[in-house]
Chains A and B, each alone.
Chain A
Amino acid sequence: GAVVSQHPSWVICKSGTSVKIECRSLDFQATTMFWYRQFPKQSLMLMATSNEGSKATYEQGVEKDKFLINHASLTLSTLTVTSAHPEDSSFYICSVQRTSLTGELFFGEGSRLTVL
């Protein structure tokens, strides 16, 4: 199956700084990657769909200027949390999907962001 690498696993930053999270598809080329956010004891909230070579598609209510997504290659998508604040503290998870519409998602291990 697909292997997805997400980095960093944990990050602590000061309020006002920016944090970049990387998501790599290791064994196949992913034209589409998804970014999710998960609050404690809650389900996954889809933030945006990352499309290789084009702009990301953001879900309603997600600030595109706050959560910058770049999908520069078929194996790498990045999520940058700009000017982070404590309310941005969360667990961020990326996923990739095989080209088939019926395909399941394969997830990274997640990144725990804590903003002080």
Chain B
Amino acid sequence: AQSVAQPEDQVNVAEGNPLTVKCTYSVSGNPYLFWYVQYPNRGLQFLLKYITGDNLVKGSYGFEAEFNKSQTSFHLKKPSALVSDSALYFCAVRESSASKIIFGSGTRLSIRP
């Protein structure tokens, strides 16, 4: 069965510093991986996805994520954090042959000025 884990409930970073939000996954085949962001009382916004190709994927708002097959990870990164990046971030995975997308538990990112 597919699963996804976000080991950190909260990540705190100073503005201007690089940030990383961790995600690991487990699927039986080739994974389709996604990152979403949620602001308070809002739906989820799509940030980026990995399907195939380059392991480094670039997405919205300057975010990128690196697919690492050997470590089964898909960490979200940004070189320089902004206060406006403070939000709840969800990693998600689906198996190539399945229709459901499974979400991680979410990581709250807090950027201090």
Contacts and interface: CB of A to CB of B under 8 A. Distances in A.
Interface of A: 1, 4, 6, 32, 34, 42-44, 46, 49, 91, 93, 95, 101-102, 104-110, 112
Interface of B: 32, 34, 36, 41-46, 49, 51, 90, 92, 96-97, 99-101, 103-106
Given A44-B44, A110-B42, 16 more contacts: A43-B106, A44-B103, A46-B100, A49-B99, A91-B41, A95-B43, A95-B44, A101-B96, A101-B99, A104-B34, A105-B34, A105-B46, A105-B101, A106-B46, A107-B45, A110-B41
B96 A43 contact: no
Contact of B90 (A44, A101, A109): A44
Which of B43, B45, B92 has its CB near the most chain A CB atoms (within 10 A)? B43
A91 to B, nearest CB: 7
Contacts of B41: 91, 110, 112
B43 A6 contact: yes
Contacts of A49: 99-100
Contacts of A43: 90, 103-106
Contact of B43 (A1, A101, A109): A109
A105 B46 CA distance: 8
Contacts of A106: 46
